[in-house]
Amino acid sequence: MSRKAYVAVAAGLGLVALSACGSSDDSGNAAADSRTVTLVSHDSWAVSKNVLKDFEKRSGYQVKVLKDGDAGEAVNKAVLSKGNPQGDVFFGVDNTLLSRALDNGIFTSYKAKGLDRVKSEYQLDAAKNRVTPIDTGSLCVNYDKKYFAEHDLTPPASFADLAEPAYKNLLVTENASTSSPGLGFLLGSVAKYGDDGWQGYWKKLKANGVKVVDGWDQAYNEEFSGSAGGKKAGGERPLVVSYASSPPAEAIYSDPQPKTSPVGVATGTCFRQIEFAGLLDGAKNTEGGQALLDFLISKEFQEDMPLNMFVDPVTQNATAPADYTKYAVKVDDPETMSPRTIADHRDDWVKSWTSLVLK
Amino acid sequence: MDLARSQVVTKARTGSAARLGLMVLPVAFFGVFFAYPVAAIVERGLHVDGAWEFGRILDVLGQSDIRHVLWFTVWQALASTALTLLIALPGAYVFARFDFPGKQVLRAVVTVPFVLPTVVVGTAFLAMLGNGGLLDELWGVRLDTTVWAILLAHVFFNYAVVVRTVGGLWSQLDPRQEEAARMLGASRFAAWRTVTLPALGPAVAAAALMVFLFTFTSFGVVQILGGPGFSTLEVEIYRQTAQIFDLSTAAVLTIVQFLAVGLILAVHAWTVRRRESALRLVDAAHTARRPRGAGQWALLGGVLASVALLIVLPLGVLVERSLDAPGGYGFAYYRALTSADGGTFLVPPIDAVGNSLEYALAATALALLIGGLAAAALTRRAGRLVRGFDALLMLPLGVSAVTVGFGFLITLDEPPLDLRASWILVPLAQALVGVSFVVRTMLPVLRAVDGRLREAAAVLGASPPRAWREVDLPLVRRALLVAAGFAFAVSLGEFGATVFIARPDNPTLPVAVARLLGRAGDLNYGQAMALSTVLMVVCAASLLVLERIRPARATTGEF
């Protein structure tokens, strides 16, 4: 026994030493190598392998990706490590948090090649070019098609519909103070009803039985009756605040793929989300970072995004893949709000919302 | 001059010098990887534009929603602790005193939840208590977003703490003492109350305090099951730091939690010292026997039923969902784990198993090194300074993982400690927690080593290292293995700190589960369940091995 125990411990320590050698090699030379460019992003970052390889071959740079938590967390970490960033390019700050990033000066200016192809409505920092728009999408109420068919009920189409008695106790949304879809939905309602009307609207929603949960995952995968996860968890709310791209995601990640998505979108309840990338101030590989930014708005990357991150391209010359458009829902006129307005009022709105809806 | 006396004095001096030597590395480790990052993030919050803003402390504590959080944190921790004791103490008795088939396996099973990541537990409990969950189907009862879901999940998590801490000691109390009291005419209850209860008291208190500590700092369970109405200090620190980015409020809350945890640990250290008072302990193998009579069988049945309902069932629901593929029950989700097509990761999710094992091995080695040195330094009873150090080693258990993670980010960013991009960051963070387990497991065993053996070796000319190798090591080898196993299992399941620092190309199992749960679609959800099941099986297997190597004549290690 005693000998065996020694051997077990020794083997364990040996393994550690081996794995230590194995892993330290690749991280050791990554930082020093000017052929490596580091992208800092949030957990939802995704790209096709061959598309990334293609860029690496053409540019000669190796791309290292650092996913740094959910969107808000990743931005906050970038702010904390300002001046001595973890990488060269940050991707994933959206219009609701843009001012926090810009006010803290975490980016330096760079006008990406091909920026002229990006639709002007997405260029929110056009004067200084500290950030480049990369993708867009909409936060919208989604509905469970089957539920509304079975109950012979028309799905809601607008913000106002959601407060109607016909939809009592059907909607689940996320906590606006902890979840970006929750915050987007609140901002959408403020954009719709104005600074003095939104509270009245939420009072009606509350009276109509809106349920609030902490995050998108719980809302969509547990409470919503139309998602695969929600069905299994016995979710019983047929209306959920999610994305306009949930229908393609839901359909494409099903096996076998259905003819139409089981999820629909209430297109009159949407708030526009735009995601940006920028060159981090203090980046060690500025040139590599610039090349990477050019790549993010290239046709190749823009057309690769929809099926990987379920977002829409921002450049005029890019078209989403057929698999995506087959299930995608077009949102024509989402609510919007300037990043400055959001930055100035976000905390107050969220505070009032919390005491109005949660208390 | 009295020669013997001068020898004793010299020995005491070299003893304390050696002890200080042993403490150098643990102190440096905790200083650099714990105290410094935490202090830096607190400073960032309270030291604004060159001036300390201590006034913020009163501002923050004056807010009614913060006071509500404080109140709820204390209240739910008290309730969780009481409920856990109520349900787990009969279990501790049954595991200590009864022999029944499958006992070893069952003891490992009840410990599995303790090392499971909270994301997995939260999901399992929603499946039971949520919409269309088991209770809903049977009786239309739903407990999600009520405080009951939180309390029950806390029992699920901490059952093992009570069974192991209290049951471990109980199994070694000589039953003949109680029998003697009964022969002298005491009733069964009176005998128990006057003989067994006083002996067990400190262990119960220590277990209760550990459960209180774990539930006081509860994060994942409250986050997932509680809904927006409920928030503990730990959850609030996370929200203020990661989401609202109000670093000064987060700093104030971190200080409050730090003080509270320090207090809990001080009381805990005091009860542990009392527990180490001389008890007549016997070999656990001789105290357990088969139940006799209807009453004892009923007790055993009741305990087994509660274990089945509270622990086995939630784990079973996870397994069931991992197999519930669209085309009927099968291994489709498990097969999907080997492909990288999903786009969630740069690697197939199954690679996370290898990553987790590598990280956990490295973390275990670190925890054994640091914890072993610390335990050796603390072995001999000593002054207040050393006792304080003992409690300090436990602090990482109670300090918010997000604080440590963000602290790493702003402190370990310059040579020679530019570790932000290094793989070692994950094992370092996991080892912070692992060390506490190593120390708690090793210390009682080391302290139980008869000092006279060491002295005898010294008199015979052995150097202190040699005396340690010849006397202490053979006695503690098994405890060392148990400590290693626990540090390993805890590292495997560690989520809070890892999620902040794990690299995307090397996700650990819990991080991979959380990421999969965060995406839409049947396949992702199913894969998350399958990975959770894999993690559960790995944890269970390592615990089962532990049961085998557990010292037969165990001293009262805590876990």
pLDDT at B229 over 80: no
pLDDT of residue A141: 97
**Residue B191 pLDDT > 90, yes or no?**
no
Query: What's B250's DSSP letter?
Result: H
Residues in A closer than 8 angstroms to B499, CB to CB, are 69
Task: Give me the pLDDT at residue B505, please.
Answer: 65
Complex ipTM: 0.72
Select the residue from B419, B519, B549 to test the A interface by mutation, using most A Cβ atoms within 10 A.
Answer: B519
Tens digit of each residue's pLDDT (9 = 90 or more) over B77-101:
999 999 999 999 999 999 988 888 8
Whether residue A2 has pLDDT greater than 60: no
Q: What is the 3-state secondary structure (H, E, C) of A257-297?
A: CCCCCCEEEEEEEEEEEEEEEEEECCCCCHHHHHHHHHHHC
Mean pLDDT, residues A22-38:
56
Flag if A250 and B520 touch (Cβ within 8 Å). yes
Q: What is the pLDDT of residue B351?
A: 81
Residue B524 has pLDDT above 90, yes or no: no
pLDDT band at B440 (very low <50, low <70, confident <90, very high): confident
Burial class (CB in 10 A: 0-12, 13-18, 19+), B534: buried
pLDDT at B409: 83
Residue spans of the domains in chain A: they are 4-136+274-326, 138-272+329-358
CA of A209 vs chain B CAs: smallest distance (Å) = 15
Residue B278 pLDDT: 54
pLDDT classification of A102: cutoffs 50, 70, 90: very high
Q: Are A189 and A139 in contact (CB under 8 A)?
A: no
In the numeric block, which tokens belong to residue A187?
A: 């901002």
pLDDT at B387: 67
Does the structure show a pLDDT above 50 at A13? no
Give the pLDDT band (50/70/90) at residue B397. Answer: confident
As a whole-number percent, the residues of chain B with pLDDT over 70 amount to: 85
Q: Are B530 and B509 in contact (CB under 8 A)?
A: no
Strand partners, A173: A212
- pLDDT given for residue B212 in this prediction: 94
A271 pLDDT above the threshold of 80: yes
Quote the CA–CA distance of B194 and B135 in Å, as a whole number. Answer: 42
**pLDDT tens digits along B149-175:** 899 999 998 998 899 888 888 887 877
| Angstrom distance (rounded) from CA A306 to CA B240 | 32
pLDDT class for A334, splitting at 50, 70, 90?
very high
Verify whether the Cβ–Cβ distance B523 to A254 is below 8 Å.
yes
Of residues B555 and A301, more confidently modeled: A301
* Spatial distance between the Cα atoms of B120 and B519, rounded to a whole number of angstroms: 15
> Mean pLDDT across the stretch B216-244?
82
| pLDDT value of position A250 | 92
pLDDT at B225 over 80: no
Burial (CB count within 10 angstroms: exposed 0-12, middle 13-18, buried 19+), residue B476: buried
CATH class of this structure's domain A138-272+329-358: alpha beta
Burial of A129 (0-12, 13-18, 19+ CB in 10 A): middle
Identity of the amino acid at A358? L
Beta strands in A55-131 (DSSP E): 62-67, 89-94, 107-108
Who wins on pLDDT, A146 or B127? A146
Q: What pLDDT score was predicted for residue A215?
A: 79
**B-interface mutation test, from A142, A180, A221, most B Cβ less than 10 A away:** A221
3-class DSSP assignment, residue B309 = helix
Strand, coil or helix: what is B184?
coil
Gap from A248 CA to chain B (nearest CA, Å) = 10
- Predicted confidence at residue B315, as pLDDT, reads 87
User: What is the reported pLDDT for A26?
Assistant: 40
Please report the pLDDT score of residue A7 as a whole number.
40
Provide the pLDDT for residue A187: 97
Q: How many CB pairs under 8 A join A and B?
A: 184
Residue A321 or residue A256, greater confidence: A321
In the prediction, which pLDDT does A16 show?
A: 40
Helix (H) or strand (E) holding A142: strand A132-144
Amino acid at B43: E
Predicted local confidence at residue B375, as pLDDT:
86
Write out pLDDT tens, residues B330-372: 888 888 888 765 444 556 778 888 888 889 999 999 999 999 8
pLDDT surpasses 60 at A287: yes
Q: Which residues of A touch B520 (CB under 8 A)?
A: 220-221, 227-229, 242, 246, 249-250, 253, 310
Please answer yes or no on whether A86 and B227 come within 8 Å at the CB atom. no
A43–B242 C-beta distance less than 8 A: no
The pLDDT value recorded for residue A290 is 97
Q: A76–B420: do the CB atoms touch at under 8 Å? A: no
pLDDT at B73: 95
CA atoms within 13 A on the CB side of A273: 25
Domain A4-136+274-326 is found in CATH 3.40.190.10? yes
Top mean pLDDT of A132-136, B253-257, B423-427, B449-453 is at A132-136
- Read off the pLDDT band of B123 (50, 70, 90): confident
How confident is the model over A315-336, as a mean pLDDT?
A: 93
- Quick check: A148 pLDDT over 60? yes
Amino acid A268: pLDDT: 96
In B, which residues are within 8 Å of A254 by CB distance? Answer: 326, 521-523
Inter-chain touch B520–A253, beta carbons under 8 Å: yes
Judged by CB atoms closer than 8 Å, whether chains meet at B358 and A77 is answered as no
